[in-house]
Chain A
């Protein structure tokens, strides 16, 4: 089945550093979204970037979209220990509102 690819699978950084994770798809991107999941919890929507947008900011989050490469990146600046979580990208599959999920990046921010 369709699936987004994410890298890295796991990332460990020190507090204050920036974290970058990438997501790519084999098909064209519609509405690329990033979600965060704390261990054993549901997912929280972080940011959505549309296919006609190239960059979007929300607080310490910066998302870019390259439709020609069918890829997106999520940058978390000045990371905090509380940013430790798994981050997933997802894209709308079409009119049925399904999301096609990436494999996720597990981020550990060490104090």
Chain B
């Protein structure tokens, strides 16, 4: 159990286009999901916390108009990179903790990541 999927696994796009990445919890519900960005050989950088039914909470320095997050249901969060530029090229990973109160509530379950390349 506790599987998180991401789609697409990789995407190549032209500069100026928008790209949507989906994160789904397949067998559990998640009121919260986290979006990370990771550069090669570096740690994860938290971009934002996605909250089901309310606005996302962005980390300092992350442009909310650039990285649009929508958490429309208990199993789906989307990240849209708007007007993508080459510097947005990165590995984007989502994660979801299970609902609070369970034995694994402090863990996070990760999607396999999405490799974005902006030309």
Contacts of B49 in A (CB 8 A): 96, 98
What is the distance, in angstroms, from A76's C-beta to the closest C-beta of chain B? 19
Report yes or no: A42 in contact with B107, Cβ–Cβ below 8 A: no
Q: How far is the CB of B29 from chain A (nearest CB, A)?
A: 14
A110 close to B (CB within 8 Å): no
- B38-85 CB contacts (< 8 Å) to partner A: 41-44, 46, 49, 59-60
* Nearest chain A residue, comparing its CB with the CB of B96: A97
A101 to B43, CA, bound (A): 7
- A75 interface residue (CB < 8 Å to B): no
Q: What number of residue pairs across chains A and B have CB atoms under 8 A from each other?
A: 55
Q: With both chains docked as a complex, state the minimum distance between the C-beta of B85 and any C-beta of chain A, in angstroms.
A: 22
Interface window among A43-51, A54-62, A63-71 = A43-51
Query: Are A42's CB and B113's CB within 8 A?
Result: yes
- Let me know if A88 is at the binding interface, CB within 8 A: yes
Residues of B near A45 (CB, < 8 A) are: 107-109
Interface members, chain B 93-119 (any A CB < 8 Å)? 93, 95, 97, 100, 106-113, 115
14 contacts across the A-B interface (CB closer than 8 A):
A3-B43, A33-B106, A40-B113, A40-B115, A41-B112, A42-B95, A42-B111, A43-B93, A44-B110, A97-B100, A98-B49, A99-B108, A101-B46, A104-B43
Task: Show the binding face of A for B, using Cβ within 8 Å.
Answer: 1, 3, 31, 33, 35, 40-45, 48, 88, 92, 96-99, 101-104, 106
